[in-house]
């Protein structure tokens, strides 16, 4: 019991780190992957850099998309599209 007692604080730290840091990050990555796969033509999105646009084309070969913006058409990686900011854009205001 003495040997296990010495390792108990380390085990506790690992368990706490897993539930508060590792597990939520894995869930967020899974949600972002699902969001990127669910994108379709006509969706209004915001990139992580803050560019607003509407999806014109999706390319499954290189996992990219073409956005129509006020500046014209731009090609982006699907991973550059922000899940949180795009959902806020499409959610109705509660005023």
Tens of pLDDT, residue by residue, the chain (95 residues):
567 778 888 999 999 999 899 999 999 999 988 998 889 999 999 999 999 999 999 998 998 999 999 989 999 999 899 888 888 877 665 54
In this predicted structure, what is the pLDDT of residue 57? 94
CATH class of this structure's domain 40-95: mainly beta
Q: What contacts 55, CB < 8 A, 6 or more positions away?
A: 39, 40, 41, 42, 43, 45, 65, 66, 67, 68
Alpha-carbon gap, residue 80 to 95, rounded angstroms: 30
* Token pair belonging to 91: 């959610």
In this predicted structure, what is the pLDDT of residue 71? 87
């Amino acid at each position: 019991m003495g040997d296990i007692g010495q390792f108990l604080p380390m085990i506790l730290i690992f368990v706490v780190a897993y539930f508060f840091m590792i597990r939520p990050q894995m869930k967020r990555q899974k949600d972002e992957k699902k969001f990127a796969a669910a994108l379709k033509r006509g969706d209004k999105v915001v990139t992580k850099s803050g560019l607003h646009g509407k999806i014109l084309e999706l390319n499954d070969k290189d996992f990219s998309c073409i956005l129509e913006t006020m500046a014209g058409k731009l090609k982006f990686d699907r991973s550059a599209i922000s899940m949180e900011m795009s959902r806020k854009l499409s959610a109705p205001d509660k005023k």
